[in-house]
Amino acid sequence: MFIGTSYPKLDDKFRLILPAKFRDRLAGGVILTKGQENCVVVMTRAEYEARAQALTADTTVGTQDYRVLSRHFFGDADEQTPDGQGRILVTSKLREWAGLGRDLVVAGAGKHIEIWNPETRESYMNAGAEAFANFSEGEVRLS
């Protein structure tokens, strides 16, 4: 499980040094793709494949919904293996999607990691604060 938040910077080559606590689990390779609310999602290949199966299982191939979903989830995805220093490249398409500059927020989100523009994440977290405060564990099941 990926938990916790860090505040790294992209280097001059647009590489992110993965937080040390995540590196061992991601050393075998990662996939970066678009996330909802305009963040970048980083996950293992196994998690990406499971999520891809779940996302497309109930969508009929050839429909507009399928095309939109597959173009966003697969089209700009990028598979990488972190280098010896735990760095991964954040592509220009993904940086543009998330509005990323040099300063980042990297947050664990259970089965994946999210890379955010700091201002976007702060706005998103503030907007959801009341809903979180009123959350009842019996209402939602996280699988």
pLDDT tens, residue by residue, 50-90: 999 988 887 788 888 888 888 999 999 999 999 999 999 99
Q: Which pair of tokens denotes residue 58? A: 């109930």
- Residue 113 and residue 139: Cα distance in Å, rounded? 24
What letter does residue 73 receive in the DSSP assignment?
A: H
| pLDDT at site 137 | 67
Q: Which whole number is the average pLDDT over 103-116?
A: 98
Q: Which whole number is the average pLDDT over 87-100?
A: 98
- Residue 135 and residue 140: Cα distance in Å, rounded? 9
Query: Residue 141 above 90 pLDDT?
Result: no
DSSP bridge pairs for 35: 39
- Residue 101 and residue 14: Cα distance in Å, rounded? 9
What φ, ψ does residue 60 adopt, rounded to 5°? Answer: -75, 125
User: From 3.10.105.10, 3.40.1390.30, 3.30.70.1520, 3.40.1550.20, which CATH number describes the 5-133 domain?
Assistant: 3.40.1550.20
Specify the pairing of strand 105-108 against strand 78-80. Answer: unpaired
At 84, the amino acid letter reads G
What φ, ψ does residue 33 adopt, rounded to 5°? Answer: -150, 175
Average pLDDT, the chain: 92
Question: Domain ranges in the chain?
Answer: 5-133
pLDDT tens digit string along 9-54?
A: 999 999 999 999 999 999 999 999 999 999 999 999 999 999 999 8
Q: What is the reported pTM?
A: 0.90
Q: Which whole number is the average pLDDT over 97-123?
A: 98
- Residue 133 and residue 128: Cα distance in Å, rounded? 9
